[in-house]
Structure formats: structure tokens, C-alpha cells
């Protein structure tokens, strides 16, 4: 197998782990699913925060360097504003006071903006795995394991949130199918444009992603954590999310 094909196969493995995370929802009984929301929000908070601090910010500095670090702030604002605009067109509920009818819709909205952000995240990580496979295969395998752990967890979270509207299962399936394919799409894109990617392009792309994650944290997740009913579940979610990202970074 050529190095290029190996990179594509590895990103396919990441997609497989995303599918495993999605399927794990099937093992949960409905009575437990109803109690998961505070736990899920705690996990999302720690996962997004840890990814920003441990991976995204160091990656931006690595690609841009100190002299071009101003691009981080420019494209951070761009990512934040982009998701804010998308949010204004997709969110029909107020996060402050949600009725029983509005709550599932709000969860679906949160799942959708998380999905958009992680599609972008997976494409970037898919390109990196492909490049690593063409250089040092061991690093590519380690990156694949690390990303697979995160994607498996996020697959579980995304399905929980998006599946709140059970009447539109075809659309839910389509969204999650796209999520599963995105690391593979990233590697295929890189196979066409070449393995010597532009550092400025990657640094700006990751800066946009930081802005998108920051928007979700500030405007959605932190507000939900402050109004959560079961703080014990929230704390468990935060701790578990932190452990998952820590393990993925140690590999």
C-alpha cells in the first residue's frame, strides 16, 4: 500500500470510530437519555476548551509564528461572526426560558452548530493525517488514534443532540453521515492539492475554528452550565471530557 493510500485509509478509520460513537446511543435506555443533558453540556464544555488550549492555539502558533500571529485575531473574529450569522438563521428559541416544546429544538440547534464546527475541524485534521502518512507513518497512526477518540465521543454527543427531533430521521442520518466522512474528505482534498500545504492557509483555517468553538462556548454552553439542574452530572461530564482529551493528547 502506498503512503498516500495509507493516509486515506487512516482517515477512513477515524470515520469508523465516529460511527461507533453514534451507535453507542442505541445501548442507552430512554429513561437514561432524558437525564443526560447536563452531563452532555459538561462534556462539550471541557472538550471544546481542551481542544482550543491543547491543540488549536499551539497549532496556530506553529503554522503562523510570532510575526504573523495577528492573523489569529483577524480570522478568530471571522469564525466567531460566521457562526453568529448561521446561529441567527437557525435558532428559533431563546436559551433563557425554554418550554418543553422548545427544549428539543434548542438541542437540535446546538447539535447543528457543533456539527458545522466539527465538520470543519475534521477536514483540517484529515489533511494533517494525510500529510503525516506521507512523511512519518508512525505519527499518522498516533494522530489517527488521538482523533478517533475525540470523534467517537463527539459522535455520541452529536447524535444525542440532533436526534431530539425524531420525526426527521432522514435528515439526522444525512447530517451524521457527512460528519463520518469529513476526515476522509480532508485527506482526499489534500491528495489533490499536494502534501506540501500552505502554513498560512492552515493557520488561518484553525484560527477560524477557534472563533467558532469560542462562539459555542460563550453563547451556548456556558449559559447552559450556569442554569443546569443537576450539577453533579455536569461536573462528571466536565471531568470525563477532560480525561478523554488528555488521553487523546498523550497518545
- Distance between CA 129 and CA 186 in Å, rounded? 9
Confirm if 209 and 56 have CB atoms less than 8 A apart. yes
Of the listed ranges 93-102, 129-138, 218-227, the least confidently predicted one is 93-102
Give the model's pLDDT for residue 103. 77
Whether residue 183 has pLDDT greater than 60? yes
Q: What is the mean pLDDT of the chain?
A: 85
- Distance between CA 154 and CA 245 in Å, rounded? 11
Look-up: residue for cell 462534556?
A: 43
What integer is the mean pLDDT of 64-88? 89
- Distance between CA 128 and CA 131 in Å, rounded? 5
Please state the φ and ψ torsions of residue 230, each to the nearest 5 degrees. -115, 90
What integer is the mean pLDDT of 84-93? 78
Give the model's pLDDT for residue 30. 58
Whether the pTM exceeds 0.75: the reply is yes
For the chain, give the secondary structure using H, E and C: CCHHHHHHHHHHHHHHHHHHHHHHHHHCCHHHHCCCHHHHHHHHHHHHHHHHHHHHHHHHHHHHCCCCCHHHHHHHHHHHHHHHHHHHHHCCCCCCCCCCCHHHHHHHHHHHHHHHHHHHHHHHHHHHHHHHHHHCHHHHHHHHHHHHHHHHHHHHHHHHHHCCCCCCHHHHHHHHHHHHHHHHHHHHHHHHHCCCCCHHHHHHHHHHHHHHHHHHHHHHHHHHHHCCCCHHHHHHHHHHHHHHHHHHHHC
Share of the chain above pLDDT 70, in %: 87
Whether residue 170 has pLDDT greater than 70? yes
Query: What does the block give as the cell for 36?
Result: 443526560
What integer is the mean pLDDT of 84-97? 71
Whether residue 151 has pLDDT greater than 90? yes
- Distance between CA 27 and CA 50 in Å, rounded? 27
pLDDT bracket for residue 227 (50, 70, 90) = confident
Highest mean pLDDT among 91-95, 114-118, 231-235: 114-118
Give the model's pLDDT for residue 97. 59
Structure confidence by residue, pLDDT tens digits, 138-150? 888 888 999 999 9
pLDDT bracket for residue 76 (50, 70, 90) = very high
Confirm if 135 and 196 have CB atoms less than 8 A apart. no
Amino acid at each position: 500500500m502506498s503512503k498516500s493510500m495509507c493516509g486515506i485509509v487512516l482517515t477512513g478509520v477515524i470515520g469508523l470510530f465516529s460511527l461507533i460513537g453514534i451507535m453507542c446511543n442505541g445501548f442507552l435506555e430512554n429513561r437514561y437519555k432524558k437525564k443526560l443533558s447536563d452531563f452532555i453540556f459538561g462534556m462539550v464544555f471541557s472538550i471544546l476548551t481542551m481542544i482550543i488550549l491543547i491543540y488549536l492555539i499551539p497549532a496556530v502558533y506553529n503554522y503562523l509564528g510570532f510575526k504573523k500571529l495577528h492573523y489569529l485575531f483577524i480570522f478568530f473574529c471571522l469564525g466567531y461572526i460566521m457562526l453568529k450569522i448561521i446561529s441567527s438563521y437557525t435558532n428559533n428559541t431563546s436559551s433563557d426560558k425554554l418550554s418543553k416544546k422548545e427544549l428539543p429544538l434548542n438541542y437540535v440547534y446546538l447539535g447543528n452548530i457543533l456539527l458545522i464546527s466539527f465538520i470543519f475541524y475534521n477536514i483540517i485534521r484529515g489533511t494533517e493525517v494525510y500529510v503525516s502518512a506521507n512523511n512519518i507513518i508512525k505519527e499518522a497512526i498516533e494522530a489517527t488514534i488521538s482523533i478517533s477518540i475525540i470523534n467517537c465521543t463527539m459522535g455520541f454527543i452529536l447524535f444525542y443532540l440532533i436526534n431530539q427531533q425524531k420525526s426527521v430521521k432522514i435528515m439526522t442520518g444525512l447530517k451524521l453521515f457527512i460528519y463520518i466522512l469529513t476526515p476522509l474528505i480532508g485527506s482526499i482534498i489534500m491528495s489533490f492539492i499536494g502534501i506540501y500545504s500552505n502554513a498560512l492557509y492552515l493557520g488561518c483555517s484553525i484560527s477560524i475554528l477557534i472563533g467558532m468553538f469560542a462562539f459555542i462556548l460563550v453563547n451556548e454552553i456556558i449559559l447552559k452550565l450556569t442554569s443546569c439542574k443537576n450539577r453533579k452530572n455536569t461536573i462528571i461530564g466536565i471531568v470525563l471530557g477532560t480525561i478523554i482529551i488528555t488521553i487523546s493528547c498523550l497518545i
